[in-house]
Structure 1
Amino acid sequence: MWFYLGHWLDRKGLVSLAESSYRNGGGSDGKSAAEASFRLSQLMLAKGCNREAADICEQALRLHPSHAKLWCALGAAHRRLAQMDAARAAYEHAVELDPGYAQAWCNIGEWLLVKGELSAALEKFQQALRLEPRLLEALNNRVAVLYELGRFADAEAAARLAIEIHPDKAALHVNLGNVLLHSAKARPAIKAFRKALECDPICAEAHLNLAMLLGETYRLAEALSFIEHDIAVKGESAQRLASLALAQYSKGDLPAAEATCKKTLVMQANNVSALITLASCNSARGDHHESIRLYQQAMAENPEMPAIYSNIAFNSTYVPDISPAEVFDYHREWAARFEKTVDKPAYSFEQGRQAGRPLRIGYVSGDFGTHPVGFLLRDVMRHHNRMEFSIHCYSMMRSSDDITVAIREHADSWVDALLMSDDELAERIHEDRIDILVDLSGHTAYNRLPVFVRKPAPVQATWIGYFHSTGLESIDYFITDPYTTPADSGQLFSETPVWLPHSRFCYSPPDYAPPVASSPVLERGNITFGCFNRAEKLVEPVIAAWALIIRTVPGSRLLLKASAFENPQVCDELRSRFIAHGLESERLELRGRSSHRDMLEQYGEVDIALDPFPFNGGMTTLEALWMGVPVVTLAGSGVVSRQTTSALANIGVTELIFDDLDGYIKGAAALASDVERLSRLRQEMRARMANSPLCQADQFTHDLEALYRRMWQAWCRGEKLGTEIVPGSPVARKTVLHVGCGGSDIRSLPQMFQRRWQEIRLDIDPQAKPDVVASMLDMAPIESASVDALYSSHNIEHLHPHEVEVALKEFKRVLKPNGVLVLTCPDLQSVCALVAADKLEDVAYESPSGPIAPIDILYGYRKAMAKGNLYMAHKTGFTARSLKRALVESGFETTIVEQDGHYNLWALAYPQAVEAKRVEEDRKLCFSKWLAEPVAQAFGKLQAVA
């Protein structure tokens, strides 16, 4: 009775009551008493009370010595107490008593697995599964032992079979994820770990593996601790050590990761994960030959993985002593392995060959975020002509940040494609009827080159994100520029190179970039050379050249900054390499990672930036130049070794480009000796750059779109573009007068003004640094009928009521006859509804400045006024009807005013009558996202057209 009661309570989840029942039921003769003791021992093991579990089993076995389950439970308790010999003896006795007891065979196999007797362990798991094919522990352990035997494909198949049998068991999905992770199949591994969390939302191992795969650095310490504890409890298996090495590498502890990888490879010479992690460690310290060798070894073990060979191709671009032809051969080998062997779908392109119709552009990348690609793409996205191009992003981002949000805001569609298979993503792109598909990753991490192999779009190109030909014939074009790829350079491409007129890069400096600092030599008295590029670029010829430069310039020092320098052992090793070339250790300073803003600020300590070779800086060069630091470069023959050359040519500082190593060394030393020239360059650099093609996003995007159009026209003719420079035509830029601009910039303007509009900033406050200091009551510096649009956001309520008509007439005066006024102000009707409900000081909504209450909307933002900003006081107010009347009385012939449901009014006003179609288009591009009312309904409210 006690046994059956305990069993019922146990099934109901009433474990404490079940435990009491089992205790009452044990300690006597009979089969049920033995079973009660066995169940009690299982509860104790689950609670971690291992000694008590052993005592229960031993006591029960004195009464029931032939009970196989009790012997098996005793073995489990002994094993957890680290009494390994006693555990095996108990398991084997259980099998002697009951040869058909699958759990006992499984436990013997687990014991053998811990001891490293892998073949014998596999045999025991197979025996257990013959007896009980659904036994969860045996299914899971079989996966583990197949992995430890290096039979990775068999391990994956066994893991998938186990999941078919038990689809809701988190442990099985974790095990599959581990096999995939350590077989270099990161994307399906992520999918497996996420599935584990669907089964068990608190599964620690799934969370921590995802943290490593998704780059969640804040959890890496926790991941390391978890894996180390797992090893301490379960012993050193190849899989656990490979996981530890990956976590150490992800955290930046390269020496520890390298040591763990070597230990793993002693245990299992073909461990793909350890080979890849060790290759990455070697790459990080500049030993790219060894890195390539290790990747090739991993490739031999897992020949079906494009990502491994992408790493080989990528690393070849760092190596200084192999020819451009050899580097190209590595990329062509990728294509030979994976482009020629894919069974390509026979896609038909039914979108038609109309040369002039709007085009659908698809961007594919894993770097739509705080990454060079994100910074280079952000302003291009903002300036795309939405009348001619719709933009579709296929993202492999693991997480989102501010740059991701900015890019996504300007995309017509956004597909999170990280977990989509190559076939699934190719099919989605084809279904989206993309006309031109653009790769922004090349052979870097999370690339989707296998999707491009399937040719889901009629025209395919590769642009920013990589610095070499991909090697693929299925990609039609490589977008470059005349300085990166001179016509006579002899650069090798599988694609057809096509040139933008100036640069392949469009730099958008971050808003938080500090002002340019004065030359540090003026304060320090000696020259500081610097480089903030990745440590992987510090190959031996670079170290030798830089050591010689520092030694040549008396009193100079070298400041290097990279995330790898967080680790003291990495720093010690790099110092020893410089010392070997005669540089005193005290003349070298190494700094680790910091925030992006802090990194930019630290350029204030650098007089001259030294560009590495053959792998030049890209974004790093642009950032150094923006911070006023001249960059000395050695121009090579390939794309990767001419990135800085292109940047310097575009800002007109070609004297810092050198064609040979001797000139590079002497040029850097000569620049260091001319402090006056250094100071002049520093003062000029940001203005040079801002006025160069590198920073003219509207013109750059216009030129890029012209190139896309020419690609499309060629396809419509059944042709391909030749290798010619696509001529750029000047952008016809309209002007928008931003009244009351404050501290904001063009990015705060409505979407309509985000592309090909020139912002003229006007404000009454000189501290806002406007283009024109003036009041909206008297905008005399602005000529009549001179601007295409005027944007005034929350300004008019700061006037006295009798001044409103004066300001509105000034707005109309400066607008061209076909111009438009976009105006916003508080909506007193919705605010007064709150006041009527006695919510005058309650928070109405949260703004970037803080909480806003009705009293702030009615009378001005109290927090700002308390600090002395009396411009914030409100002196009048409007309802939709009164604002419309004021606009009409001021001479605007067409007006529309709407409430956005968020305590604001939005108005469009035109000096002359305009068609409803234009008003509709302007409304879409200008009005707030809070205006959810369909456009068609809004036009029913166009009541007053004088």
Structure 2
Amino acid sequence: MSPPLAPSRLALSALSSGQTEAALPLLRQCLDRGEDVALAGLNLGIALTNLGHLAEAVPHLQAACLALPDLAEPRFRLGQIAGQQERIAAARALFHEALILEPEHVTSMAGLAMLDEAQGNADGALQWVAQALLLAPREAGLLVMQARFSEDVALCRALLSQGLGGVDAVKLAAQRLDLAELRAAASAAPLEWRWQAALGLAQLTAEEVEAGIAALRLACIFSDDAPELQGLLGLQLAEQRRDAEAEPLLAAGIAASHGDAELRASYALTLLRLDRLAEARLAFEAAIADFGPHPSLICNLALTLSNQGLQEEALRISDEGGDTVASLGCRMGIQPYHPIEGSAAALHRTASRLGAALPHPPRLPHPPGFDPERRLRVGFFGARLGRHPVGWLTLSAIEALPEAEIEVACYSLKTMDDALGRRFQARADLWRDLSPRLDDAALAAAIRADAPDIVVDLGGHGEGGRVTALAYRAAPVQIKWVGAQSATTGVPAMDWMLTDAWQTPPGSEAHYTEALLRMPDGYACYTPPPWAPDVAPLPALSRGHVTFGCFNNLSKITPAVLAAWGQILTTLPRARLILRTHALRDAPTRAALITRAAAAAIPLERLELHGPSSHEELLAAYAEIDIALDPFPYAGGLTACEALWMGAPLVAMAGSSFAGRHAVSHLNNIGLGHWVAEDVEGYVARAVAAAHSLPALAELRAGMRARMKASPLMDAPRFAANLTAALRHAWRLRCAQTQPLKPSSVQTERIKMLDKQKLIACAASRGAGKRL
């Protein structure tokens, strides 16, 4: 009987047959036994690199450099990792070391070419590729690089015609060849996956989305589902937010190319969007360990933690991104949820840091036509002009703007083909679809080309928002309104914040880099969805106990909120609490919330948790809720309006930031300002008192919709008149100026756009109704 093969032989056999994962324990066994340590360590480092475990590979490769001082390969691999981590100087030095040891090391030459390209030195990159091609003239990867660096369209065409190159060649052809040529080539060679894939990518660039996806699917079929092509299709589907379709394709691509940073980042983001939060966290953490602290990875990890309700960890991670615009913009999106750093003063400090990192272009001198009374072109700019809080809180007012005074332009970063999106398009006198791929300067220039008088941002620092583009001054007057409107933006060229006296009471001015353009009523105009069911009777009357509810994001459920809810349920021993939010679909996140709730003295037997639901189902679920509980320090905005529309009065606590006062504004605008508490003790007391007054609660519930319809919160013509006056006020001030506007120099008095009788009527309507 022959003796068993040594682990080193078995490992080499596994590696040569492509079973990289199977080789890992064998190589580790060699190291443990002291068998062929130098080569085992090198092969382990290479195997880990190929599997994308870059952080784990580095020490083994470093040890191989010492143990095998005449070998180029470990230095090349370390250079490859350094390049992926954007440590350019280190990567360049390691590639040169490899070439000193082995002057004909072609892959190190290719590595140096990639570094030169990354630093804008196309000529240097081409020289390295030419040198490498002398040694490996038929290497497809080098030919693709030559075509890219030399911009040789004929070579690019030849690569695909000869069936050479992989996804890199496809991407290059999609960029270099025109769409008509790609259509003809794909038609002439219908079974060649490279032409189909290149056509698909070009169609996606040309916004032919469905045709592009279909072509890429055909390419996958013709390539027998080559993993690299599946990964490419997954990336395109993820970009279109078709996450459920993208996830398995990205996973297949990663399985074949673990070291692809783009695939890994997109896969982690897809998991986040699918609410697989625990998996997303692990995927982002692994990518950061392997590829370094890229701002996008740091930001998305912080967002994942925030979505899990881990505000402290989220803010700590976001700080690792440094003082770049991207990192500070991410922090501005996460910070309002933090119990302490979510204050208006703390947010202003972060916004000021962000503003310092943005350009400060001088305001252009007065162009011809600065007539203070002419018809104004007002551009509404954002990525969520449709079925989104932006739509529900702005659209009816925009539709009601007087056409004789306001020309409505819409600058959309993402077409939303839904009922609200179509209403935006119907109202717009001018509609522009802008590519989110444009950088900030190009976005501002694209808007500026239409010469709008005023641009209103509806995105802020939220997902898809590009408020930083307005630092390049797209219009003479720039205003922040709904859409991640949680705090000051910090953008130097943002002139105004559209607000009201409840959102920003007197004394708030110091916390805003913008001047405060206060409306006489609320800052938003609510449109309820037509599919909202009728208000159900008060459930407590039939159940014999009160049910509280909160349907806000888990990001808003801070430890202090849980503690307050624990006090309410302890005081009311039969009361129940229902939470409903998309993050609770994730089992580990749900379990962690239960642990935190128990620590906050919330009786778990009286806590009911639900995951995501359709909008229709979510609204119908208010039939089970007697009293809604608003979170803090980030209050509900649209969620508050929806709870009220479904008849559930809202217990809220006033915060200091814009985000902390949404419900304050909405409740005061419908005459229920006394439901707002100033501290936790008042919040708990308000909830408990309401639970002891069921007849009054039932009466309030029954009349809630009539109350809202009669209030400024839903009076679109009234809001539109006030908005028109606010826009005209800002424009007149601009016309009167010859120097750039400085928000600190503008008196932010509340704009008096209603006559005295209307103001008296408004005050009377707010005081109407029985206090509960």
Structure 2 residue identity aligned to 1:132:
L
Separation in 2 of the partners of 1:438 and 1:663? 37
Aligned position for 1:264 = 287
Which of 91, 107, 132 is the matching residue for 1:125?
107
Separation in 2 of the partners of 1:173 and 1:273? 26
Using a 3 Å threshold, how does the CA distance of structure 1 residues 691 and 84 change in structure 2: closer, same or farther? closer
CA contact under 8 A between 1:212 and 1:250: conserved in structure 2? no
Structure 2 residue identity aligned to 1:138:
G
Using a 3 Å threshold, how does the CA distance of structure 1 residues 563 and 140 change in structure 2: closer, same or farther? farther
CA contact under 8 A between 1:193 and 1:210: conserved in structure 2? no
Summarize the alignment of residues 430-579 of structure 1 with structure 2, pairs less than 5 Å apart. Answer: 430-465=448-483, 466-489=485-508, 492-579=511-598
Q: 1:491 Cα shift? A: 5.5
Using a 3 Å threshold, how does the CA distance of structure 1 residues 731 and 354 change in structure 2: closer, same or farther? farther
Q: 1:542 Cα shift? A: 0.7
Aligned position for 2:116 = none
Aligned position for 1:284 = 307
Q: 1:290 Cα shift? A: 2.1
Q: 1:289 Cα shift? A: 3.0
Structure 2 residue identity aligned to 1:353:
F
Aligned position for 2:443 = 425
Separation in 1 of the partners of 2:388 and 2:140? 43
Q: 1:405 Cα shift? A: 0.7
Summarize the alignment of residues 334-345 of structure 1 with structure 2, pairs less than 5 Å apart. Answer: 334-340=354-360, 344=361
Structure 2 residue identity aligned to 1:472:
V
- Residue 660 of structure 2 aligns to a residue whose secondary structure is coil
Separation in 2 of the partners of 1:442 and 1:194? 27
- Compare 424-433 and 691-700 and name the one that shifted more: 424-433
Separation in 1 of the partners of 2:529 and 2:339? 33
- Residue 566 of structure 2 aligns to a residue whose secondary structure is helix
Separation in 2 of the partners of 1:141 and 1:264? 27
Aligned position for 2:397 = 380
Structure 2 residue identity aligned to 1:519:
L
What is the Cα-based RMSD across aligned positions, in Å?
3.5
Q: 1:454 Cα shift? A: 1.0
Q: 1:487 Cα shift? A: 1.7
Structure 2 residue identity aligned to 1:277:
N
Structure 1 residue identity aligned to 2:240:
L
Q: Deviations over 1:283-305 (max 9, x none)?
A: 112222322232232347xx4xx
CA contact under 8 A between 1:231 and 1:240: conserved in structure 2? yes
Aligned position for 1:185 = none
Q: 1:84 Cα shift? A: 11
Which of 654, 662, 674 is the matching residue for 1:643?
662
Q: 1:593 Cα shift? A: 1.5
For the pair 1:326 / 2:346, whether they are aligned, the reply is: yes
Q: 1:80 Cα shift? A: 5.3
Q: Deviations over 1:726-760 (max 9, x none)?
A: 22337999xxxxxxxxxxxxxxxxxxxxxxxxxxx
Using a 3 Å threshold, how does the CA distance of structure 1 residues 244 and 431 change in structure 2: closer, same or farther? closer
CA contact under 8 A between 1:485 and 1:491: conserved in structure 2? no
Separation in 2 of the partners of 1:277 and 1:176? 29
Structure 1 residue identity aligned to 2:692:
S
Structure 1 residue identity aligned to 2:551:
F
Q: 1:349 Cα shift? A: 5.1
Aligned position for 1:413 = 430
Structure 1 residue identity aligned to 2:597:
F
Aligned position for 2:266 = 243
Q: 1:441 Cα shift? A: 1.4
CA contact under 8 A between 1:484 and 1:646: conserved in structure 2? yes
CA contact under 8 A between 2:238 and 2:266: conserved in structure 1? no
Using a 3 Å threshold, how does the CA distance of structure 1 residues 430 and 275 change in structure 2: closer, same or farther? closer
Which of 733, 744, 747 is the matching residue for 1:714?
733
Q: 1:254 Cα shift? A: 0.6
User: TM-score, normalising length from structure 2?
Assistant: 0.71
Using a 3 Å threshold, how does the CA distance of structure 1 residues 77 and 194 change in structure 2: closer, same or farther? farther
Q: 1:235 Cα shift? A: 4.4
CA contact under 8 A between 1:526 and 1:556: conserved in structure 2? yes
Separation in 2 of the partners of 1:271 and 1:508? 40
Greater percentage in strand: 1
Q: Which one scores higher on RCO, CA 8 angstroms, separation ≥ 6?
A: 2
Aligned position for 1:619 = 638
Using a 3 Å threshold, how does the CA distance of structure 1 residues 164 and 551 change in structure 2: closer, same or farther? farther
Separation in 1 of the partners of 2:476 and 2:49? 53
Summarize the alignment of residues 696-775 of structure 1 with structure 2, pairs less than 5 Å apart. Answer: 696-718=715-737, 722-729=747-754
- Residue 641 of structure 1 aligns to a residue whose secondary structure is helix
Using a 3 Å threshold, how does the CA distance of structure 1 residues 308 and 232 change in structure 2: closer, same or farther? same
Aligned position for 1:770 = none
Q: 1:668 Cα shift? A: 0.5
CA contact under 8 A between 1:193 and 1:206: conserved in structure 2? no
Using a 3 Å threshold, how does the CA distance of structure 1 residues 645 and 689 change in structure 2: closer, same or farther? same
Aligned position for 1:68 = none
For the pair 1:584 / 2:607, whether they are aligned, the reply is: no
Q: 1:113 Cα shift? A: 5.5
Which of 350, 354, 359 is the matching residue for 2:367?
350
Q: 1:126 Cα shift? A: 3.6
Using a 3 Å threshold, how does the CA distance of structure 1 residues 265 and 498 change in structure 2: closer, same or farther? closer
Q: Deviations over 1:219-269 (max 9, x none)?
A: x23322223223333446655443332222121111111122233334344
- Residue 387 of structure 1 aligns to a residue whose secondary structure is coil
Using a 3 Å threshold, how does the CA distance of structure 1 residues 353 and 732 change in structure 2: closer, same or farther? farther
- Residue 511 of structure 2 aligns to a residue whose secondary structure is coil
Using a 3 Å threshold, how does the CA distance of structure 1 residues 645 and 491 change in structure 2: closer, same or farther? farther
- Residue 642 of structure 1 aligns to a residue whose secondary structure is helix
Summarize the alignment of residues 87-106 of structure 1 with structure 2, pairs less than 5 Å apart. Answer: none
Q: 1:674 Cα shift? A: 1.0
CA contact under 8 A between 1:435 and 1:459: conserved in structure 2? yes
Task: Pick the structure with greater CA Rg.
Answer: 1
Q: Deviations over 1:448-497 (max 9, x none)?
A: 22321111211111111112111123111111111211224465111110
Separation in 2 of the partners of 1:421 and 1:488? 36
CA contact under 8 A between 1:347 and 1:456: conserved in structure 2? no
Separation in 1 of the partners of 2:148 and 2:556? 41
Separation in 2 of the partners of 1:162 and 1:668? 70
The gaps in structure 1 that reach 5 residues or longer are: 1-74, 86-108, 143-157, 178-189, 734-946
Structure 2 residue identity aligned to 1:172:
D
Q: 1:712 Cα shift? A: 1.1
Aligned position for 2:316 = 293
Using a 3 Å threshold, how does the CA distance of structure 1 residues 717 and 541 change in structure 2: closer, same or farther? same
User: TM-score, normalising length from structure 1?
Assistant: 0.59
Using a 3 Å threshold, how does the CA distance of structure 1 residues 159 and 472 change in structure 2: closer, same or farther? farther
Which of 90, 114, 121 is the matching residue for 2:50?
114
Using a 3 Å threshold, how does the CA distance of structure 1 residues 331 and 663 change in structure 2: closer, same or farther? same
CA contact under 8 A between 1:159 and 1:175: conserved in structure 2? no
Separation in 2 of the partners of 1:163 and 1:191? 19
CA contact under 8 A between 2:548 and 2:578: conserved in structure 1? yes
Aligned position for 1:878 = none
Structure 2 residue identity aligned to 1:374:
G
Using a 3 Å threshold, how does the CA distance of structure 1 residues 274 and 472 change in structure 2: closer, same or farther? closer
Quote the sequence identity (%): 31
Structure 2 residue identity aligned to 1:339:
P
- Residue 376 of structure 1 aligns to a residue whose secondary structure is helix
Structure 1 residue identity aligned to 2:358:
F
- Residue 517 of structure 2 aligns to a residue whose secondary structure is strand
Using a 3 Å threshold, how does the CA distance of structure 1 residues 647 and 490 change in structure 2: closer, same or farther? same
- Residue 266 of structure 2 aligns to a residue whose secondary structure is helix
Structure 2 residue identity aligned to 1:262:
E
Structure 2 residue identity aligned to 1:330:
T
Structure 2 residue identity aligned to 1:120:
F
Structure 1 residue identity aligned to 2:304:
C
Summarize the alignment of residues 10-89 of structure 1 with structure 2, pairs less than 5 Å apart. Answer: none
Structure 2 residue identity aligned to 1:293:
R
Separation in 2 of the partners of 1:174 and 1:297? 36
Q: 1:396 Cα shift? A: 1.2
Q: Deviations over 1:85-141 (max 9, x none)?
A: 9xxxxxxxxxxxxxxxxxxxxxxx998962766742455424463332897753599
CA contact under 8 A between 1:425 and 1:451: conserved in structure 2? yes
